[in-house]
Amino acid sequence: MKRLVETDRWKDAWFIELHPYAKLLLSYLYDTCDESGFVDLNYSLWATQLNMNKEEIITSLKALQPALLSDKKKKLFITDFLKHQKKLPLVKGVEESDWIITKLKSNLDKFDNALGIQNILNDHIEILGKRTTTNNGSKKKVFVKPSFEELRAYYLKEKPDAKEDHIHDIYDHYESCGWTVGKNKPMVDWEACVRKAIRNQNERFTGNRGGNGSAATKKSRTETTLGVVDQLIKNN
């Protein structure tokens, strides 16, 4: 497969100071990784193809840490690969971009939700045929549906004592309504929706404890829907 070469890399102070083995290994990774920037760690193959021993490869990988992410098992991700290959922004609806997006999402949890991958999914995805800039020319954030693991991690970050069943209910609710809010308006910020769901849950809990005021007893549409679902499940 054809790859672009980032010639400015040879002018970068960090790259210049690398040992020749590290430079060779990074160039090799750029050439052999998949189209999304992931590559399987294979000491025996690398040693044969690069004429380096395992210790030299390990030392080189340590020097290359600023440019790589690791799942602490047998897979690496080159953080700037997509940028250097002119693949960004990724465009949903384009076959190659869809493949890369799927690959990034499927590996996100394995890489502990690394920011290097999250940032690409959150800030560098556009939708085919849709305007991605506002009238004043500023970039408009495009909504990217989270995986259950992403939503669960954020939910637990905001509410560590949350019940797993409630997190599943929230995710399933938005899956069933196509990630819309209000009167079927496209969702813009799923994290904000999670925070709102947590606030509504806290207010309902306070109301059940005898709190006063309509804010403490008012249920959101989401919670009302989920309550009906829970009741149906119990009845069956």
Domain residue ranges of the chain, discontinuous segments joined by + = 17-78, 145-236
Residue 87 sits at φ, ψ, to 5 deg, of: -90, -10
Query: pLDDT tens digit string along 117-174?
Result: 999 999 898 876 555 555 555 555 567 788 888 899 999 999 999 889 989 999 998 8
Residue 10 near residue 16 (C-beta atoms within 8 A)? yes
Cis peptide before 160 (omega within 30 of 0): no
Q: Which two tokens stand for residue 181?
A: 């809010």
What gap in Å lies between CA 179 and CA 53, rounded to an integer?
A: 50
Q: Which two tokens stand for residue 156?
A: 């637990």
Would you say residue 107 has pLDDT above 60? yes
For residue 13, give the H/E element and its range: helix 13-16
Which one has a higher pLDDT value, 224 or 14? Answer: 14
Query: pLDDT tens digit string along 184-195?
Result: 788 888 889 999
Measure the N-to-C terminal CA separation of the chain; round to a whole number of Å: 55
Phi-psi region of 10 (alpha: psi -120 to 50; beta: other; left: phi over 0): alpha
Pick from 60-74, 166-180, 196-210: least confident:
196-210
Which one has a higher pLDDT value, 183 or 231? Answer: 183
Q: How confident is the model at residue 102 (pLDDT cuts 50, 70, 90)?
A: very high
Beta-carbon neighbour count of residue 78 at 10 Å?
22
The residues that bridge with 78 in the sheet, in sequence order, are 68
Q: Which two tokens stand for residue 73?
A: 């098992």
Q: Are strands 125-127 and 90-92 parallel, antiparallel or unpaired?
A: parallel
What gap in Å lies between CA 152 and CA 175, rounded to an integer?
A: 14
Residue 116 near residue 77 (C-beta atoms within 8 A)? yes
Chain-centroid distance, C-alpha 64:
22
> If you average pLDDT over every residue of the chain, what do you get?
84
* Architecture of the domain spanning 17-78: Orthogonal Bundle (1.10)
Which one has a higher pLDDT value, 138 or 72? Answer: 72
What pLDDT, on the 0 to 100 scale, is given for residue 218?
47
- The proportion of the chain whose per-residue pLDDT surpasses 70, expressed as a percent, equals 80
Q: How confident is the model at residue 30 (pLDDT cuts 50, 70, 90)?
A: very high
Region 80-93: mean pLDDT is: 91
**Which three-class secondary structure state does DSSP give residue 139?**
strand
Region 29-35: mean pLDDT is: 96
Chain-centroid distance, C-alpha 87:
17
The residues near 162 (Cβ < 8 Å, ≥ 6 apart) are 155, 156, 198
Which one has a higher pLDDT value, 196 or 127? Answer: 196
Of these ranges, 73-82, 87-96, 141-150, 223-232, the one predicted with the greatest mean pLDDT is 73-82
What pLDDT, on the 0 to 100 scale, is given for residue 130?
56
Would you say residue 202 has pLDDT above 90? no
pTM of the entire predicted model: 0.57
